[in-house]
Each structure stands twice: as C-alpha cells, then as structure tokens.
Amino acid sequence: MKLAFYYNLAFGGAKRAVYEQVKGLVQKGHEVDVYTLDQNIDIFDMSKCASRVYVYKFKIGSSMPFLSRLKSDYDNFFTLKKLHKKIAINIDKNKYDLVIVHPDKLTQAPFVLRFLKTPSVYYCQEPLRICYEYALRLKEKVNFAKYIYEEITRFYRKKIDRENVRAATYTLASCYHIRERMIEAYDVFPKISYLGVDENVFKPLKIKKVNQVFFIGSKINSLDGFDLAENAIGLIPKNLRPILRVVSWKKENNERLTERKLVELYNQSIITLCMSRFETFGLVPLEAMSCGQPVIATKVSGHRETVIDGKTGYLVDFDPKEIAAKIIFIIENPLKASEMGKNARKHIEDSFNWEKIIDNFEDLLRGFVKKHKE
C-alpha cells in the first residue's frame, strides 16, 4: 500500500504510536510518507523510518503579551485551517491508498480531515479532554469577560474537534474505553487498534533490585494519582517501607529521560504503581510488564484492558490502604512477585508486542482500502 500519515504531537506516548506504526508498516514493505508540523528532532525521528517526511512551518501567538492569547486562538481556529487545506491538497496530489491521521496538539482532531479527498482514517487516543472531562472544567475565579471568552473558545474547540472527527472516512480507537468515549462524543463507531511496546527495548535486565516502587507522573496533577501512591507508602511499616521513586518524562535539568534509564528504573524497582484516576489507555503498565515487573494499577479505563488482576499485577480502587496491602504482599512474597513478573513479560510477548500490533493494524488498513474500492 501507498500510505500517508499526518500528525502534530509533543514528545510522549502519542508520538511514539505514530513512530511505531510508520516504522512497522515500512518494515512490512509499504511506502509510507509523513506530513507534519513537528520540527522537533528526538528519539521519534520520523526521517529514520518513513519513506519521505514533509514538514510544514507554523507559528502561533504574538510577542505582545496582551495579544498573545487572542492571536493564538485566531491562528488555531483560522490560520491553521488554511494550512491544513494546503496539506490536504498536497496529499491528494500524491495518490495514496489511505491517509492515517493522528491528532494535532493545537486542535485534537485535525482540520486536514475536512479537506482530504483521499480516504482517511482518524486514529484517536482520546477525545478533546478539556471539553469532555468534568475535572478539567474552568474552575478558576476569573472576571466575567475572561470567563465568557473561555467558554466561547471551548465551545468552538469542541465544535472543531467533533466536525473534524466526523469528516474522517474511517475511525480507529486505541482501546475499547476510547471507543466508548468516541461513540458518546462523536457518534462514530471505530474499530480497535491497540498500542504496543517494543519488547526488545523494554526487557528484563540482570541488575539488582532495590527496595523502591516506581511511579511515573506529575506530583501536582490530581488525575495522575500521586497522592494515592504517597499515602499508600506512608501506611507501610517503616521496617518494610520502600522508597517511592517518582519521575516524569523530563529530568530535573529539563533533559528528557532516556529509554535506557527508564528501563533501568523499571528493572531496579520491585513494582510499578499506575495510580491514574482517569487513564485513557496507558503505556506505563505495558512498559513495566515488558520489563518483567508486576504492576499495581487503578481499576480505570485502559488499565482494565492491559493488567490481568492477580496474574500480571493487581487492579485496585482509589484506596491507599488497599494499595499499601498489595505493596506489602509483593515485598513479603518475592517468589510470587517473580512469578507475576514472568507472567507479565509473557503477556506482553503474546498480546502487546509491536510486531503483532502492526500485523493487526495492517489488516485493518487493508480492509479499509478494499472497502473503499468496492
């Protein structure tokens, strides 16, 4: 197949998904071109795997502080739309079988979907959260004019996101939880294409364990559940209490945490805590399990689709006492922890390694192409 991808994403799991999909399809012999506004070169360098990469320049905002927000919104709503129309025309000229469209960090579902004449697939990892999640509602006490402006722009962002999604020829969701949210938000009925993990990178290492549990996320974002992890550790007797190792994708000096260091931290820890109160899918549990480590995860959304309770780890409620009890059990039963770690690694090899994920992804794309030609 001759395929095009569009994306404009910041560093993180969503960008990794694009990289792995492009790389996997090229390795299977497909011609894959990438169209993007992303000018950042990082470990997900599309030029290393794509047939061709077309980068478009786009700048938003103003150097004048009092105009910055107004100019940014104008650029997002109108200037970006014109650029996406240009990108769509360029894509159509190159006669692709299918265009796989990932989110744009500026709008979520990209405008390009509206203008493509080539059949398109929108790959959704989450709806526009600021418009659909109660926890992200406008809570600040602001003056009336600012409140009205924020409400209007959020309404317009929601309208843009919904219309763009519904303009796609086909849709894919990253998991069943996201499919249900897409049905509710957009009235579309996507097929499922899971994300995976590179088991050749995230793998067990022969390094010594230390008495620590691992947490990846923000200390200040309540949705990440750091308070649950911290409170649970505080309930563990001092003679057993492990260190709570907390990291984000960035180090203290603002350099990105390397994959090698991340793999080492998974392997050094006795368990990984995934405490999100609202996780769309979550790559952290997959990475931890691929490293042969059991996971304690909250019973939310994507966690329920990846962690097998009692076999590869534990699914828990938002209860520090329950979380603490599971941590204590793992510490006091190293043989059980080792068994869970082996189960976790096998679970990834059987169900969530990228090779198998790409096989399924390829089958779905071939089905869309065939359906469109019928």
Domain shared by 100 and 216, yes or no: no
Domain shared by 124 and 29, yes or no: yes
* Domain coverage including residue 109: 2-196+354-373
- Can you tell me the distance from the alpha carbon of 79 to that of 60, in angstroms, rounded to the nearest whole number? 9
What count of Cα atoms within 13 Å lies in the side-chain half-sphere of residue 63?
Answer: 0
* pLDDT at residue 248 in the model: 72
Domain shared by 86 and 127, yes or no: yes
Are 3 and 33 within 8 A, CB to CB? yes
| H or E element, residue 78 | none
In a domain, 26, yes or no: yes
Beta bridge partners of 53: 34
Considering only residues 277 and 86, tell me which one the structure prediction assigns the higher pLDDT.
86
* pLDDT at residue 251 in the model: 47
Query: pLDDT tens digit string along 63-112?
Result: 666 577 888 888 889 999 999 999 999 999 999 999 999 999 999 999 99
In a domain, 59, yes or no: yes
Domain shared by 6 and 139, yes or no: yes
User: At a CB cut-off of 8 Å and minimum separation 6, what does 91 contact?
Assistant: 4, 6, 35, 99, 112, 116, 118
Domain shared by 134 and 238, yes or no: no
| Among candidate residues 225, 355, 236, 207, the one with its CA nearest the CA of residue 278 | 225
Are 119 and 88 within 8 A, CB to CB? no
In a domain, 289, yes or no: yes
* pLDDT at residue 15 in the model: 92
Q: How far is CA 293 from the centre of its chain?
A: 21
Domain shared by 147 and 277, yes or no: no
In a domain, 120, yes or no: yes
Question: Count of domains in the chain?
Answer: 2
Domain shared by 139 and 11, yes or no: yes
In a domain, 207, yes or no: no
Task: Annotate 172-224 with three-state secondary structure.
Answer: EECCHHHHHHHHHHHCCCCEECCCCECCCCCCCCCCCCCCEEEEECCCCCHHH
Domain shared by 317 and 347, yes or no: yes
In a domain, 201, yes or no: no
- Can you tell me the distance from the alpha carbon of 164 to that of 67, in angstroms, rounded to the nearest whole number? 27
| H or E element, residue 145 | helix 144-167
**Mean model confidence pLDDT for the chain:** 91
Tokens of 306: 């990846």
Query: pLDDT tens digit string along 186-213?
Result: 999 999 999 999 999 999 999 999 999 9
DSSP secondary structure letters along 207-271: ----SEEEEES-SS-GGGTHHHHHHHHHTS-TTTPPEEEEE-SB-TTSPBPPHHHHHHHHHHSSE
Q: What is the CATH number of the domain that holds 160?
A: 3.40.50.2000
The residue type at 88: A
The model carries a pTM of 0.89
285 has a pLDDT exceeding 90: yes
- Can you tell me the distance from the alpha carbon of 66 to that of 44, in angstroms, rounded to the nearest whole number? 35
Q: In what order do the strands lie in the sheet with 212-216?
A: 243-247, 212-216, 271-274, 295-298, 313-316
In a domain, 205, yes or no: no
* pLDDT at residue 256 in the model: 61
Domain shared by 125 and 147, yes or no: yes
Domain shared by 217 and 281, yes or no: yes
Phi, psi values for residue 328, rounded to 5°: -60, -40
Are 126 and 280 within 8 A, CB to CB? yes
Helices (H), 50-143: 65-74, 80-93, 112-115, 129-132
In a domain, 224, yes or no: yes
Domain shared by 230 and 301, yes or no: yes
Query: pLDDT tens digit string along 121-147?
Result: 999 998 988 888 777 777 667 777 788
Domain shared by 149 and 261, yes or no: no
